[in-house]
Every structure is written in C-alpha cells, then in structure tokens.
C-alpha cells in the first residue's frame, strides 16, 4: 500500500505544497520508504522527492520552491520496483499537451506484459515502477485523443489490478479508482475554493477539509476552475475493497467507503470475544492495529484493558519494513511491556493479523519475560494464507506463516498458551452496514481478477 494526495485551488493565497505536505504527513502510515510532491505552476511542473519519511524529505525551503495552483503527493511502500530514487513518485513527464505528473496506490498486475508490448513499439522506460507503464499508455493514447479524459478511458481498458491514481495535467487535477474499488480514494473540500483527493478521509481532516464523498469504483474525477466533473468508465456491478483497509492499513479515524475503520475494528474485537472467550485478567492490544480490537474484546468480555504494551512512536510499521531483518530489528525497539500491568497476570494479547509472525513471536516472549503467567493470542482476522498481488508485498506463499502451518503449529512456534482467529463470517460482519463487498483473497485464495501466470 501507498498513499496519494492531491490539491487544486482557485484561491491564489492557498499554499498548495504545504497542504500536500500535511496531507502526506497524515498518510505516513501507508508508506515510509519515500515521499514526493509535484506542483503545477502555469505551464510547468516542479517537484521534490527523495527517500525517507515526509519530514525528512521536505524542509520549508523545499516547499517554498513549489508554487502553483494544483499538485499531487505520494508516500511509497514498494510493491513494484525497488526503492531507488528513480522509482519515487510522483512521476513527472512531458507529453504532447504539456507536462503531467502521476502517482498511484496499488499494483498493476499485467504491467510486465504491457511494458513488453510498449518496448516492442519503441517506448523507452527509465524506472522499474509500474506507474511509468500507466504514463506511457496515457501519452500514447493522448496523441489520438482530443481530451485527456479520453486518453484515461483508453488506458483503463488495458490495465488490470488495483489502483487509486492522482494526476495533474495542464488543466485538471484528476482522481481515478479501479473498477472493483480495491484501493480507497475520496474527495474533500476546503473553504469552498479548494478541492482535495486523498487515499483516506483522515488526511482531509488534517488540512481542515470537509469530506465530500468516496470516489466510486471505476470513476474518473476531473477537477478544475469549474469544479468537479465525473465520468464512469466501467459498469461496476460488484466491488472488492481490500478488507485489510479495515483490519490494518487505514487510520482508525478514517471513513472508508462509508464505514468507520475504528468502529469496524472495535466490532471485530467484540465478535472475536464471542467466538473465542478466554479466562484472563487483562486484555492487551498490540499498538496500533490491535488497540481498537482489544477495546472491543475487553468490552464484550468484561475484562480490563490497560496499556500493557507501550509503542515507541518514532519507529514505523514493522510489517512494511522492506526486508525481514529490518522487521525484526524494528520490533525489538518498537514495543516494551509495562511490567506492573502484566506481571503474574493471565494476558489476552490481541493483534489484527499474523502474516509472517515475526512481531507476534517476539512480543509473546517479551510478555513472558515481563512476568505474564499465561499469554492467550487472539487475532482479529482469519489466517493469512495466500499471497496478495494488489499492493501488499506478500507475493509468495513461503512468506506467510499460515500458508504451511496449522493453528496448533503456529501457536507452538509463537509460544502462546492458546491461539484463535476471528472467523471469516466474523470479519465480514465487522464493518457494520457496509455497502461494499470486500477482497478477501489473502484468506480464501479466490481473487477478484485473474492473476497472470507469471505470478
């Protein structure tokens, strides 16, 4: 997963780059490897991007060099291409109608096939990023299209996978969401004259914006001085929002496709307590993903839920660290048990998921070393058994603990006294009153689109 953010304003006093900076800061949880901002200033696009966290990449003098009336930003978690500087988004290019910048959250699963065909036609690529394939298609179709929206409509006929895209062209700020709505995208407004497109509503809140609505699956949104234009590029009869938005990825204060992520996680905890009760003294959630679930579990069980694990707020998400060694180091410095809350206690430890198991195993050991008598592990999602090809870096079953181990073997390896997962039916019910369906392929192995054989 990555995060995208775009701003357009008719108000010349609005500092576009500063708004994007704060929007990206609010989306930092979606990607920590690099950050970038591109801003349109009349007929040109200026940009600044680099490896690192948002406050590391941008200083005030960098933002001062990015004036303009529209811009986009990106925080990157690499699922396609490495983290070399050339792959950092937004990508900026010159095409037949001027300059364009593009940034994406998601994964184009047929990008290699498309790249090969484009190269055979004489197209040259400078990065390993699948977003450059989208840019190449757009520039190709723009030659024969009167308007950029026609080029986008041509492009989406060829691409497969998940995507939420933001773009700036000489006229528009553009937002585009894949036909199944696998990746989230929403629209906001600031003081009547400034529009925002964001991966999550929490980032709109961060810039004092008002949430308007979600971008619908298969919808193209174009924003200019005339306001918002919308074009439906697909006849979408079914949606497949990534269930992990509510399980792990989205901020708890975000509203994703009409559902509060906080409420979905609390409800998952309640369901988990009903399905798998346990005699215990304290319920402890692993911050941050398990915190809301632990709150729901404790409510349903009438067990106290102290802050039994403290999280070092200066350490990022261990799961989206780029390699296994980095994940293990991150876990060791990220958490510390509060000994007075766990010593001589029967602990229910709540986490949102077990993917590779590194974090969970280490934390169970740390709780025992802190004096916990028992550690019962409860997981707020079903076993993660199958690779994700749509934006999460789990493209091999060999990386997934539950793909080749049953519950008992995992429990023994982790070192817990017991292990239980929420049921599939339970996690689907957790986002109460959801009007969308979910992609649950990581639990079931049933994918919403055909996966190329190369995977």
The model's confidence at residue 67, banded by pLDDT at 50, 70 and 90, is very high
CA distance 68 to 20: 12
With 80 as the cut, is the pLDDT of residue 38 above it?
yes
Q: According to the 3-state scheme, what is the secondary structure of 122-170?
A: CCCCCCCCHHHHHHHHHHHHHCCCCCHHHHHHHHCCCCCEEEEEEEECC
Looking at the chain, the whole-number percentage of residues with pLDDT higher than 70 is: 94
Tens digits of residue pLDDT in 206-251: 999 999 999 999 999 999 999 999 999 998 888 999 999 999 999 9
What pLDDT is attached to residue 33? 92
Which residue is listed with tokens 């299209």? 145
The helix (run of H) or strand (run of E) holding residue 434 is none
Q: Are the beta carbons of 36 and 89 closer than 8 angstroms?
A: yes
What pLDDT is attached to residue 157? 95
At 74 the three-state DSSP class reads: strand
Q: Which of 23-37, 46-60, 316-330 has the lowest mean pLDDT?
A: 316-330
What pLDDT is attached to residue 81? 44
What pLDDT is attached to residue 245? 96
What pLDDT is attached to residue 328? 63
Number of residues that make up the chain: 455
The model's confidence at residue 321, banded by pLDDT at 50, 70 and 90, is low
What pLDDT is attached to residue 327? 63
For 415, the token pair is 């070192």
Q: What is the pTM of this model?
A: 0.93
Candidates 225, 226, 204; CA nearest to 215 is 204
- CB burial of residue 93 (10 Å; 0-12, 13-18, 19+): middle
Q: At what angle do helices 111-120 and 130-142 cross, to 10 degrees?
A: 50
Residues 6+ apart with CB under 8 A from 35: 24, 49, 50, 52, 53, 54, 57, 58, 73, 74, 75, 76, 88
With 60 as the cut, is the pLDDT of residue 343 above it?
yes
Tens digits of residue pLDDT in 354-383: 998 988 998 999 999 999 999 999 999 999
Q: Interior CA angle at 400 toward 371 and 349, to 5°?
A: 25
- For 404, phi then psi, to 5°, come to -130, 10
CA distance 33 to 317: 11
For 257, the token pair is 């496709």
Looking at the chain, the whole-number percentage of residues with pLDDT higher than 90 is: 82
Summarize the confidence of residues 102-119 as an average pLDDT: 95
What pLDDT is attached to residue 383? 97
With 50 as the cut, is the pLDDT of residue 286 above it?
yes
With 80 as the cut, is the pLDDT of residue 169 above it?
yes
Better-predicted residue by pLDDT, 8 or 451: 8
Better-predicted residue by pLDDT, 80 or 213: 213
Q: Which of 80-89, 183-192, 335-344, 381-390 has the lowest mean pLDDT?
A: 80-89
Torsion-angle region of 374 (φ positive above 0: left; ψ -120 to 50: alpha; else: beta): beta
What pLDDT is attached to residue 175? 98
The model's confidence at residue 440, banded by pLDDT at 50, 70 and 90, is very high
With 70 as the cut, is the pLDDT of residue 419 above it?
yes
The model's confidence at residue 41, banded by pLDDT at 50, 70 and 90, is very high
Q: Which residues pair with 176 in a beta bridge?
A: 165, 220
What pLDDT is attached to residue 320? 54
Residues 6+ apart with CB under 8 A from 352: 247, 248, 265, 286, 289, 290, 293, 379, 380, 381
The model's confidence at residue 395, banded by pLDDT at 50, 70 and 90, is low
With 90 as the cut, is the pLDDT of residue 60 above it?
yes
């Amino acid at each position: 997963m990555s995060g995208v953010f775009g701003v357009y304003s008719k108000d010349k006093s609005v500092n576009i780059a500063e708004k994007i900076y704060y929007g990206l800061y609010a989306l930092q949880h979606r990607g920590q490897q690099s950050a970038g901002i591109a801003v349109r200033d009349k007929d040109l696009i200026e940009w600044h991007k680099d490896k690192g966290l948002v406050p590391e990449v941008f200083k005030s003098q960098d933002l001062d060099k990015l004036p303009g009336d529209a811009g986009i930003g990106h925080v990157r978690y690499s699922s396609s291409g490495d983290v070399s500087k050339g792959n950092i988004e937004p990508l900026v290019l010159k095409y037949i109608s001027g300059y364009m910048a593009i940034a994406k959250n998601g994964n184009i699963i047929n990008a290699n096939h498309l790249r090969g065909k484009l190269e055979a036609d004489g197209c040259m690529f400078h990065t390993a990023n699948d977003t450059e394939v989208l840019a190449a298609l757009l520039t190709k179709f723009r030659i024969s299209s009167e308007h950029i929206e026609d080029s986008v409509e041509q492009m989406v006929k060829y691409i497969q996978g998940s995507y939420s895209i933001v773009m700036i062209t000489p006229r528009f700020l553009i937002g585009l969401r894949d036909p199944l709505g696998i990746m989230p995208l929403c629209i906001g407004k600031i003081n009547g004259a400034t529009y925002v497109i964001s991966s999550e509503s929490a980032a709109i809140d961060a810039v004092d914006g008002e949430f308007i609505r979600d971008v619908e699956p298969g919808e193209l949104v174009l924003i200019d001085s005339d306001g918002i234009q919308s074009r439906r590029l697909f006849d979408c009869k079914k949606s497949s929002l990534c269930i992990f938005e509510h399980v792990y990825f989205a901020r708890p204060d975000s509203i994703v496709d009409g559902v509060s992520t906080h409420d979905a996680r609390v409800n998952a905890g309640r369901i988990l307590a009903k399905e798998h009760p346990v005699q215990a003294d304290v319920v402890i959630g692993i911050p941050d993903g398990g915190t809301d679930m632990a709150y729901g579990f404790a409510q349903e069980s009438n067990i106290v839920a102290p802050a039994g694990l403290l999280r070092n707020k200066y350490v990022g998400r261990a799961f989206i660290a780029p390699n296994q060694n980095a994940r293990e180091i991150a876990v060791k410095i990220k958490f510390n048990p509060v000994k007075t809350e766990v010593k001589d206690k029967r602990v229910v430890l709540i986490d949102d998921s077990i993917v590779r198991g590194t974090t969970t195993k280490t934390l169970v050991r740390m709780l025992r070393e802190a004096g916990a008598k028992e550690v019962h592990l409860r997981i707020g999602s079903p076993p993660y058994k199958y690779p994700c090809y749509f934006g999460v870096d789990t493209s091999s079953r060999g990386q997934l603990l539950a793909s080749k181990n049953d519950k008992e073997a995992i429990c023994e390896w982790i070192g817990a006294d017991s292990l239980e997962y929420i049921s599939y039916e339970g996690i689907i019910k957790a986002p109460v009153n959801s009007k969308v369906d979910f992609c649950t392929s990581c639990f079931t192995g049933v994918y919403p689109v055909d996966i190329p054989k190369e995977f």
